Amino acid sequence: MVIGMVAGATVSLAQDDISRLSQKFEKQTIDDRRWFHENPELSNREFETQAYLRKTLLEIPGVVLIEGNWGTGLVAELKGDLPGPRIAWRADTDGLPITEDTDLPFKSTRRDTLKGGRETGVMHACGHDLHMSIALGAIRILSAKRHEMPGTLMIIFQPAEETGDGAHDMLAAGLFDDGRKPRCVMAFHDHPTIAYGQAGSCSGWSTANVDGFRLTVKGLGGHGAYPHRSIDPVTLAAKMVLAFNDIVSREIDVNHHAVISVGKIEGGTKNNVIPNEVKISATVRTHDEETREAVRDKIIRTVQGLAESVGAPEPELEYYFGTPSGYNDPALVRQVREVFRRVLGPENDITYQPGMGGEDFSRYGKIVPAFQFRLGVAPPGLENSMSLHSPQFNADERAVPLGMRLVAEVLWDQLNR
């Protein structure tokens, strides 16, 4: 009983402390957010972002930078004075090739040129400006508590999330090597379907394997009036597209998620000319590894079998495995949700269904237990009124002070376990 009271008192002291420190660093952290928002950069070109982060991190007492071949990323560490676990937090840093259409006084007017020469506006339309600033805010809070902090916090500022290669490249450069492997890694993504003041969790599978293929269906071209003298790749391609959907509905256990979507078909030049070939590209989404491989094998079999059935040449199939699926470690999710309920109130700790979108945060989770939650950034009552990657995306900025407090509480809780 007495121990319980003492433990309770300690927790509430830490809580008050974090909330007070959060107020102290609020203005600075909102200024960071506005700078990031006004100065977005495309994937793997986050040079000024990296310089800003480097300068800002070096001003926070106790923070050291871990040098490495991180490209436009950065890795920082904050070591507490007390012994404890090593945990990691990840914030992604890139913007998108979108021209901002908001009325914000700090709206981005940046432009850049894409590979291929097209000019575009650049915008933090995925809210990575919040990810970075909230991480900085949480580090400031923990830095102020470092003399009573157990363990070590590693912070990963990861570039190129949008192109899906940032996490891969940092891990390949040895992010978790040399004794740096953390006990767990966490992150959040801001989310406009969730109101400011709430956090969303999903236990287990959270994002999909983002795979796909490029297929060239081969035939024998000829006059549209005499199809019997040709091998028509258009009808063959059409059969294949329908057969892909049969794979999902007839050959995959409904308890295992799979989606095949053909997003592009190209072929032919004129209504009465049967072309030589038709090109198809598709995205393939699954969660577990077994289904991932099964769907690939069934697509190969379907494509080859249908071509053979009409006497067509063997199709060219380029199948690739992209970003792997994300898995939120159930034990870690349970622990973090206790913090959500304490800080936000039980009614604001919400559950969302797993999706088939992709996120390269998943790559860390292939190595250590991981959890990425969703932080609500919709103005209350306006959930679903905007979407990520939209030129009008405009996060409720009150999510910055609340987010830094919540992230600091989550990290503090983990460091004390």
Q: Which of 75, 78, 123, 126 binds Zn ion (CB under 5 A)?
A: 126
Task: Select the residue whose beta carbon is closest to Zn ion and give its number.
Answer: 126
Q: Are 363 and 323 in contact (CB under 8 A)?
A: yes
**Residue number with CB closer to Zn ion (245 or 392):** 392
Which span (72-80, 121-129, 173-181, 406-414) binds Zn ion, by CB under 5 A? 121-129
The residue among 132 and 231 lying less far from Zn ion, judged by its C-beta, is 132
Minimum CB distance to Zn ion, residue 416 (Å): 29
Quick check: helix, strand or coil at residue 355? Answer: coil
Which part of the chain contacts Zn ion (CB under 5 A), choosing from 125-133, 147-155, 246-254, 328-336?
125-133
Alpha helices in 216-288 (DSSP H): 233-246
Rounded CA-CA distance 17/414 in Å is 17
- The residue count for binding Zn ion (CB under 5 A) is 1
Minimal distance, residue 324 CB to Zn ion, in Å: 17
Q: What is the DSSP letter of 60?
A: S
3-state secondary structure of 92: strand
Toward Zn ion, which CB reaches closer, 39 or 152? 39
Report angle CA 392, 371, 401 to the nearest 5 degrees: 50
**In terms of CB distance, is 349 or 360 closer to Zn ion?**
360
Helices 289-309 + 233-246 axis angle, to 10? 150
| Buried/exposed 341-367: b ≥16 CB within 10 Å, e otherwise | eebbeeebbbeeebebebbbbbbbbee
Kindly list the distances between the CA atom of residue 15 and the CA atoms of 145, 339, 350, 383, 385, in Å, as whole numbers in the listed order: 12, 10, 21, 29, 33
Residue 179's region, left for phi above 0, alpha for psi from -120 to 50, else beta, is left
Stretch that binds Zn ion, among 7-15, 123-131, 180-188, 336-344 (CB under 5 A): 123-131
The minimum distance between CB 117 and Zn ion, in angstroms, equals 23
**Which residue number, 91 or 126, has a Cβ lying nearer to Zn ion?**
126
**Helix (H) or strand (E) segment spanning residue 260:** strand 258-267
Could you tell me which stretch among 20-28, 124-132, 143-151, 393-401 binds Zn ion (CB under 5 A)? Answer: 124-132
Report the residue number, 95 or 275, with the smaller CB distance to Zn ion.
Answer: 95
Q: How far is the CB of 96 from Zn ion (least distance, A)?
A: 7
**Site stretch for Zn ion (CB under 5 A), options 119-127, 200-208, 211-219, 347-355:** 119-127
- Select 63 or 407, whichever has its Cβ closest to Zn ion: 407
The structure tokens 């009808």 sit at: 235
The amino acid sitting at 119 is E
Q: Which window, 81-89, 118-126, 149-157, 266-274, contacts Zn ion (CB under 5 A)? A: 118-126
* Interface positions, 195-224, toward Zn ion (CB under 5 A): none
Q: Name the minimum Å distance from CB 169 to Zn ion.
A: 17
Indicate whether 139 belongs to the interface with Zn ion (CB under 5 A).
Answer: no
Give 226-238 as a DSSP string.
-GGGSB-HHHHHH
| Integer CA distances (angstroms), 39 to 32, 47, 100, in order | 11, 11, 12
Pick 126 or 260: Cβ nearer Zn ion: 126
Contact positions toward Zn ion, by CB under 5 A? 126
